Amino acid sequence: MFHWIKSFFKPSQPDPMKFLVVGLGNIGSEYDQTRHNIGFEVLDQWVKQHEASWEIGRLAQVAKFKFRGKQIICIKPTTYMNLSGKAVKHWMSAERIAPKNFLVITDDIAIDLGKLRIRGKGSAGGHNGLKDIQQQLGTDQYHRIRFGAKGDFPRGRQVEFVLGTWEEKEAIEVALQKDRACQAIESWIIKGLTGAMNEFSS
């Protein structure tokens, strides 16, 4: 299934005790609290829960900690959304991450707010961050948590919508869903993809 692993990980083999969790977003204060940065927000919350801190690393902000005996590496790419794959590819290789131990958290405007969708493969769905990850890794078979961000916006205004901030009426649902997303990450680590899908996918 993961044929690209042969060339990607020579000569070192993947470390089954390491997990890479990636939150997608754009760097810069002007992007704070926007729909497109929910991956950053979820990861910020999860890292804080584990009393870890962010450091500047190559192509990303990086946080590391132990969870259930596993080594967790979290990254927020500093490449901007369209080049997220560069950071992912670097850290996959540098930390010797097995494909099944790699997870992406991203927004999805095709899914209703209040819902999560966990998948092990699939198209980018027009999401530029996922497009670049798939291009860099050469596969669409990687695990992802899609955070529902669907809303009403005029035709042709998709970019403006995803780069806009959440509405006040959405705040409670966003907060609840961020909590569930953090729980879903842990379920994925403990129970694997199928277990997390059964527990959290709406």
Residues identified as active-site:
36
Burial category of 102 from C-beta neighbours within 10 Å (exposed 0-12, middle 13-18, buried 19 and up): buried
DSSP 84: H
Cα separation, 194 vs 202, whole angstroms: 13
Which of 173, 171, 121 minimizes the C-alpha distance to 146?
A: 121
Residue 71 — φ and ψ, nearest 5°?
-90, 120
- Contact (Cβ atoms closer than 8 angstroms) between residue 147 and residue 181: yes
Query: What does DSSP assign to residue 101?
Result: G
Alpha-carbon distance of 89 to 68, in angstroms, equals 25
